[in-house]
Amino acid sequence: MDQFLPLIFVAVMGLSLLLYVILDGYDLGVGLLLPFASDAEKDVMIASIGPFWDANETWIVMGVGVLLIAFPSAHGIILTKLYLPATIMLFGLILRGVAFDFRVKAGDDKKVMWNRFFFLGSLVASMAQGWMLGSYITGLTGSFINTLFAVLIAVCLPALYCVLGATWLLIKTEGALFEKAVGWARTSVLPMALGLFLVSIATPLVSSVIAERWFQLPNFIGLLPIPVTSLIAMVVLVVLLKRDLTALRELNPMYLFACPVVVCLMAALGLAYSIFPDIIIGQMTIWEAASHPSALKFTLVGVLIALPCIVLYTIFIYKVFSGKASELRYD
């Protein structure tokens, strides 16, 4: 039993971070797209994420929390090495989190400033997350080529968030804003695909550990469905987005949103395979980093009871606030 505990926790951590990327991904994306909308549209866009952003953001606290609880020594090393990008990400999250509230409460003359902070915070947070991901994949070494790789991901991640944000807006909006969102999705899908492509090529190049795990013959064929599914999801998205607006309006927007979600899922699977069973690539396995079984067991009880509840009430909240966001209006 005891040797399975780290496995369970690494799965919970992975799931939390994947949920974070998808959920906070769409609301960070909405923040990134904010400057391209009119003032009235900005209100609707923010209303579309209003009831959700806070809980979305909690998933990163959960992910980092599980790292801290289950793998404290890895947590110490990772967050010490990622001190700067993590701090910069926090500044971004602080700015966007408060801008959300201040923009409607601090007075109309300050609204423009807070809208800008909302965008800036979203941008800074997404790029810092890309930087952290890049440093992490390359084993936290900080060499020149690895730093370059981290920069590459930092530039690409916002594009993925934009696609998530734009397709989310297709679910939540109608009218002119819907049309704009279609345009944003069309524009951002290419940089996203290019980014993923570059990252997929660069990862095995900068990390020999990852290259070894992927490019052995039986593994390679077994793993092929991961990039292939990802590619299909992107092609489907492009094909769907190419339709004219009337056809897009009749289409269930969930299909469009599902495409980047599938891409995220595949990227997560690929990443998990690349890293496992290490928690820090080439340095420390999940078993070496794990907490004492007594701590893990105590936490597991909480996870087993709380996590299903969290999932249930999250679904409930999404149901309560389903439908187009333009129904939400000021009064």
CA dihedral (262, 264, 265, 270) positive or negative: positive
Q: How far is the CB of 49 from other proteins (least distance, A)?
A: 10
**80: its two tokens:** 């010490």
Burial 7-40 (b: 16+ CB within 10 A, else e): eebbebbbbbbbbbbbbbbbbbbbbbbbeebeee
Q: Which of residues 83-142 bind other proteins (CB under 8 A)?
A: 83-84, 86-87, 90-91, 93-95, 97-98, 100-102, 104-107
Burial class (CB in 10 A: 0-12, 13-18, 19+), 294: exposed
- Give the strand pairing for 284-285 and 278-280: antiparallel
Q: How far is the CB of 16 from other proteins (least distance, A)?
A: 9
**Helix spans in 138-224 (H):** 144-172, 175-206, 208-214, 217-223
At 207 the three-state DSSP class reads coil
Work out whether 27 is an interface residue with other proteins (CB under 8 A): no
How far apart, in whole angstroms, are the C-alpha atoms of residue 127 and residue 89?
8
User: Which range binds other proteins by CB under 8 A, 42-50, 231-239, 240-248, 275-283?
Assistant: 42-50
Work out whether 298 is an interface residue with other proteins (CB under 8 A): yes
Work out whether 2 is an interface residue with other proteins (CB under 8 A): no
- In the bound state with other proteins, the residue whose beta carbon lies nearer, of 77 and 151, is 77
Q: How far is the CB of 141 from other proteins (least distance, A)?
A: 18
User: Which range binds other proteins by CB under 8 A, 55-63, 126-134, 165-173, 261-269?
Assistant: 55-63
User: Which of 68, 155, 209, 269 lies at the binding interface for other proteins (CB under 8 A)?
Assistant: 68
Q: 161 with 32: CB under 8 angstroms? A: yes
Q: How far is the CB of 9 from other proteins (least distance, A)?
A: 10
Q: How far is the CB of 208 from other proteins (least distance, A)?
A: 27
- In the bound state with other proteins, the residue whose beta carbon lies nearer, of 94 and 262, is 94
Sorted by sequence, the CB contacts under 8 Å of residue 227 that are 6+ apart come out as: 200, 266, 270
Longest CA–CA separation in the chain, Å:
63
284 - beta bridge partners? 280
**29: its two tokens:** 């994306």
User: Which of 17, 19, 45, 66 lies at the binding interface for other proteins (CB under 8 A)?
Assistant: 66
Q: How far is the CB of 324 from other proteins (least distance, A)?
A: 12
Q: How far is the CB of 292 from other proteins (least distance, A)?
A: 5
Binding footprint of other proteins on the chain (CB under 8 A): 43, 47, 50-52, 54-55, 57-58, 60-62, 64-70, 72-73, 75-80, 82-84, 86-87, 90-91, 93-95, 97-98, 100-102, 104-107, 291-292, 294-295, 298-299, 302-303, 306-307, 310, 313-314, 317, 320-321, 327-331
